[in-house]
Structure 1
């Protein structure tokens, strides 16, 4: 027979038993219903039909249902292997259950027959052995089920389950103590012996199963709760039987307890042999919290009861174990909270609190040792958050933390202070060694990071403070390392060791930051405009707006004196908005005077990461009634190459609204020219470093000429910056450059001075 045929017949075999077992289960339910009804009908005692025939038929149906479940599960296993080969039976609990139900059914039937014929003394040994075998087999079933349920379970669930089981067992031990003593004194029959000797152990396992079900939450295969309740009903009937002792009468409703318990066990076996239909993972949170709480209260109640009245020693021991386990989560939770309070949630590194604690301890332990505190801050980290999102920024910080940790010698301390700041305490380190570590860390961070599919390079500025020369506690060291770090940022040196002069610089920096914030709100920023001359006609085609700070004490400050600080303090967005507002307001004034000048405004990379920039600029133009051609935005190559997809999106939207795009400082950025083909650009501004040496350097002149040809070949206009003399001007005209800016034509002028310059230039052009 072919393998596929065997698999087909295996499935047919499995389906046949699924149908037949369903019929057996219904037949068992019918017998159970008739038997229970018969027991509820008052009679004079033993009823041959109910206690004899119906009871026997019910037991036979129980055995049939259990063995049919075993056969069905075996058939499904064979069907899964497909080729009819040997399939290991992976559900021994069904086999053990069928054996246990068969044994107890045989023992009950045998004992009933012996009792009817008046041989009770012969039934005692058989009943005791039979009940012992039943409980041993069901114990094995519970162990298998519980073990399977506990696979992959977290320790906290196991702990809650253990608390629940021990609490339940402690209460049961208190309840069963008097019963066991009474049974021993009364010398009840053998059936009572089995029903009382094993319930405590059996109910303890049931308590474990109930605890697992309640605590764990997931209720996939919830059907096995039938097994739990079946055992509970079965053993509870035994306990009631123990209480009644010699007052027990055959044929009363108590007999229904054993029948119902065994029926639930059989139904569980039948259901377990079928395919799983439930795979829900809902969690009963209330029950998960209530179980350990109730069990702990029960254990405490048993201990209080033991202080007032005699209680079995087993119960006291179980209650004490319950209380001990209940204390474990409290202790572990305190430990976890302490650990969490000292750990940075994002990177897993020590946080600021841990840094203070650890450094204070190390300094107190040995104050003679040379140390160094490094304060590291990522450069332009805000742009990563703004362009790629805070999730990407968080992932970058995690990668940075791992890379820093891997680059530090053993015994040194690395902590994240917050944001993109990290602190590093180096042990046994002098200045030269600290600078070497700073260089190594910067080299490690210079290797590209991969975020959102983008290869990203970052850099860091590191401030270094030396112990004990520059501070004898962490507060002083952090303050001086912070000043050194900002010095490294301002001069772009990568790292800087604190010097006394930096203290004055730090104070000046803080004061300047505050003054900058005031400048943005008190209208201290002014714009100067440098004309852009059309080399073909000599006319003024437009102007470039350049920001100046009219400082109330220091006078007019140029951009190189404050723009770096604006970037570092996150004020660039506000500054850009102010420059755009002033430039467009001036464009309105010139338009009213009949002057048509395109104003070029520089945008930094941090301004261009604003996804709403195109809409915001368009709204500013519309509010003033200006055409989009009144504005040109100048951007740098750095932004275009750092995130080309984002650049394409923003530039395309700006161009769609009619705003022109110019690339500033062309030739000084990345070497790739692919963006010239892919991105919507109108104009290139050749950096002045290429224009300055034109008159004396043939190769420089050749570069300028070839760059102009490149721009024209791509359909772009070319603007030359830094034209300082007539020679350069004439050469640019000869090379076919489109526009030029520089001191040879005009310095940047205030709006009023530019009006005078334009008027004078126009007058000179009209002279004969």
Structure 2
């Protein structure tokens, strides 16, 4: 079996040889004429076979269309067979015979096929194409009539039936070729090649029909060279049938929003050409009437072209708006995904890195609720301006919806990271809305498809950026987070938000505005380092010495005074400010511990770490670096985790706690007994201290079951080599009972209230310590 390249070579050589034969002086020999007729018939049958094969592998209307083409070609082949028989049996074969019935099937079959293809378009488009076909066909027919067919008509060399039959082929051919051309300019790129071949084939056959009508009528003979038009036309149609693909649509599933210029201007070009070509012939006949008519036609065409140009501009504008966010003017999600898909294709083909930056505005809902949606829209519009100014001209900025934005970047990954930092810096300045300075912080996540990310899809890259963005939101870091495999947040998981207490409708707006103002002040306090830290001493009940301190955060509010944690920590948890608060407390506590250390007081300090931070694999290194920077040994720091929050991400919590132990940083479970107490925590987690909650401790003097449980937990802690620590001790009797149970470390207001860093140092240096003997004399440190 011949390869496609070999088959093309054979066809090209055969067609060339046939062309040379038809153009030579031997073409008039009877034997050569018979060969000519047989070759035309065989080529038509071959093209019909190709069309039938195409119909077999296609479906729906496309299959019907190619079957009609095959029928037309078979009809032509049958007509050619009759013509060949007449040539063999008659010395002068008749020009009109039964063969014309077969020949007539060719334009009919092709026309029906094109009309079936046209049905893939909406009705409005079908009507437009048919009207354009009338315009173009009329213009082409006018040009051919003036140039050739008028002579045929005027010759009167045959009866009226024969004349109509001769003229029928070029007239119907004009319509068929016109529809083929109009379909070609509207076809999808995947099917333009076979449709172009089909149009070329039909045009070649039409030219041969025109030549046949002219020569046979005017000269009264048949020129064998006319057969070349049919042969090349059939070859082109056969090639179109062989190249049409089974899975590609001949026409787009829906018309484009803005048609191509060719589809709009093409119907008018033939009209202008015909008017110009016919002028030398028609002016002598009609004089000024023709000139006025031609100018009128050209003016109408120009007017219509202007209307079409304006309409196309409007369609282009509507199409652009469909891909733009109406509020910000940025690209919308559809356009962003389309450009990202294209960028990922280039990334795989040209090894070009692609980066996606996702930006989510923190607490934006609070702005909408407290200041109204107009203020929120104003912030979104200005945020879009800042993003546009922060990125490069080649980057695509989009608003994906709500307060979520995205940036598509291509090229050097380091440059993309630099852009990410510029985006974060763009929000350092507050937004002036309705006379108020509003600070809106973004959570920014970056995902990069590098040169070795060939298997990464568009969806994967977007998910990675989403994971990084939510990691930044949970950590409340004022820096972009770049995706790494260690990030194991759930896709699209929102930070936990506690349900607000029921409120009356009249109070809701006031409460929201107050909450928004408090949150704004809190962000400002974090940015300016205005949070303070006090320390709750932990005492050894046996000797009364201070054995450690628990750092407690306080907020010196400029208008409300000193705010305890319960008045602002709910906002910290709800709005993802945990990392910022933890970092502020850690820095202040370790600075104080270093000062105590240099003064000779080796006082370990404990800081509370929010549960989401315990899932951060970078936490141990962060704490170790902070200790090293101050030249403090790791034993000087204890990390306290609230027991009822350990239920999140237990596997990662276990890994992080073990890493802390490897760095020799102590670990304590705080408020044990206050939440979902599970003894297997003590088995699974590497813990140094177990702090019994004050509500667990308070009833041990009056409630026997509580006392039994506390004693059992203390014994269990000793058995597991864990130090038990009692919290919230309020009186000497409770302290003594705990000492009797074997708990030697305790803290609470009975021993000391929370102290400033200076007061802690004074306490240690003056040795004003608690002792059981001083209780009766009222010398407890308070």
Aligned to 1:81: none
2:105 paired with 1:133: yes
Give the Cα separation in 2 of the matches to 1:570 and 1:753: 32
2:176 paired with 1:202: yes
Q: Closer, same or farther in 2 for the Cα pair 1:497/1:292, shift >3 Å?
A: same
CA contact (8 A) 1:196 1:238 kept: yes
1:743 is paired with a residue whose SS is: coil
Aligned to 1:660: 666
The worse-fitting range, judged by mean Cα deviation, of 182-191 and 97-106 is: 182-191
Aligned to 1:183: 149
The worse-fitting range, judged by mean Cα deviation, of 109-118 and 172-181 is: 109-118
Please, what TM-score do these two structures have when normalized by structure 2? 0.62
Give the superposition deviation at 1:649.
5.2
One of 51, 76, 94 as aligned partner of 1:104:
76
Give the Cα separation in 1 of the matches to 2:445 and 2:240: 58
One of 15, 35, 59 as aligned partner of 2:18:
35
Give the Cα separation in 2 of the matches to 1:283 and 1:130: 30
Give the Cα separation in 2 of the matches to 1:548 and 1:626: 24
Give the superposition deviation at 1:606.
5.9
2:202 paired with 1:231: yes
Give the superposition deviation at 1:633.
1.9
CA contact (8 A) 2:48 2:69 kept: yes
Give the superposition deviation at 1:720.
1.9
Please, what TM-score do these two structures have when normalized by structure 1? 0.63
Aligned to 2:505: 497
The worse-fitting range, judged by mean Cα deviation, of 670-679 and 588-597 is: 670-679
CA contact (8 A) 1:292 1:326 kept: no
Aligned to 2:478: none
CA contact (8 A) 2:212 2:222 kept: no
2:754 paired with 1:748: yes
Give the Cα separation in 2 of the matches to 1:656 and 1:569: 32
1:32 is paired with a residue whose SS is: helix
Aligned to 1:644: 650
Q: Closer, same or farther in 2 for the Cα pair 1:169/1:295, shift >3 Å?
A: farther
Aligned to 2:167: 193
2:231 paired with 1:263: no
Aligned to 1:293: 261
Give the superposition deviation at 1:699.
2.5
Aligned to 1:403: none
Aligned to 1:687: 693
After the TM superposition, which residues 413-562 of structure 1 pair with which residues of structure 2 at under 5 Å, given as runs?
Answer: 452=490, 492-499=500-507, 503=510, 512-513=518-519, 515-520=521-526, 522-535=528-541, 539-551=545-557, 555-562=561-568
One of 578, 583, 599 as aligned partner of 2:589:
583
Q: Closer, same or farther in 2 for the Cα pair 1:754/1:162, shift >3 Å?
A: farther
Give the Cα separation in 1 of the matches to 2:195 and 2:109: 16
After the TM superposition, which residues 40-189 of structure 1 pair with which residues of structure 2 at under 5 Å, given as runs?
Answer: 40-41=23-24, 43=25, 46-48=28-30, 51-64=33-46, 66-67=48-49, 70=52, 96-108=68-80, 110-111=82-83, 114=86, 122-142=94-114, 150=120, 167=132, 170-179=135-144, 183=149, 186-187=152-153, 189=163
Give the Cα separation in 1 of the matches to 2:607 and 2:103: 94
Give the Cα separation in 2 of the matches to 1:282 and 1:585: 74
Aligned to 2:484: none
Q: Closer, same or farther in 2 for the Cα pair 1:62/1:544, shift >3 Å?
A: same
Deviations 1:623-674 (A, max 9, x none): 2222332222222245422343554454454444333332322333345666
Q: Which stretches in structure 2 are left out of the alignment for 5+ residues?
A: 154-161, 276-292, 335-366, 376-401, 404-440, 447-462, 471-488, 774-782
Deviations 1:65-87 (A, max 9, x none): 6448858997x99xxxxxxxxx9
Deviations 1:662-699 (A, max 9, x none): 23223333456665554444433222111122211222
CA contact (8 A) 2:539 2:548 kept: yes
CA contact (8 A) 2:133 2:175 kept: no
CA contact (8 A) 1:719 1:737 kept: yes
Give the Cα separation in 1 of the matches to 2:704 and 2:19: 113
The worse-fitting range, judged by mean Cα deviation, of 682-691 and 579-588 is: 682-691
Give the superposition deviation at 1:262.
0.2
CA contact (8 A) 2:107 2:169 kept: no
CA contact (8 A) 2:111 2:176 kept: yes
Q: Closer, same or farther in 2 for the Cα pair 1:652/1:167, shift >3 Å?
A: farther
Deviations 1:434-463 (A, max 9, x none): xxxxxxxxxxxxxxxxx94899895576xx
CA contact (8 A) 2:673 2:693 kept: yes
1:749 is paired with a residue whose SS is: coil
One of 684, 697, 702 as aligned partner of 1:696:
702
CA contact (8 A) 1:383 1:606 kept: no
CA contact (8 A) 2:533 2:553 kept: yes
Give the Cα separation in 1 of the matches to 2:684 and 2:528: 42
Give the superposition deviation at 1:545.
0.7
1:108 is paired with a residue whose SS is: helix
Q: Closer, same or farther in 2 for the Cα pair 1:335/1:644, shift >3 Å?
A: same
2:601 is paired with a residue whose SS is: coil
RMSD: 5.7
Give the superposition deviation at 1:740.
1.9
Aligned to 2:739: 733
Give the Cα separation in 1 of the matches to 2:688 and 2:563: 31
Aligned to 1:481: none
CA contact (8 A) 2:55 2:67 kept: no
1:198 is paired with a residue whose SS is: helix
CA contact (8 A) 1:711 1:717 kept: yes
2:725 is paired with a residue whose SS is: strand
Give the superposition deviation at 1:140.
4.3
Give the Cα separation in 1 of the matches to 2:214 and 2:301: 20
Question: How many residue pairs get matched?
Answer: 611
Aligned to 1:446: none
Give the Cα separation in 2 of the matches to 1:300 and 1:66: 34
Q: Closer, same or farther in 2 for the Cα pair 1:733/1:389, shift >3 Å?
A: farther
Q: Which stretches in structure 1 are left out of the alignment for 5+ residues?
A: 1-17, 78-86, 358-375, 396-450, 462-491
Deviations 1:487-533 (A, max 9, x none): xxxxx414442349x75x77766665555455445554332111223
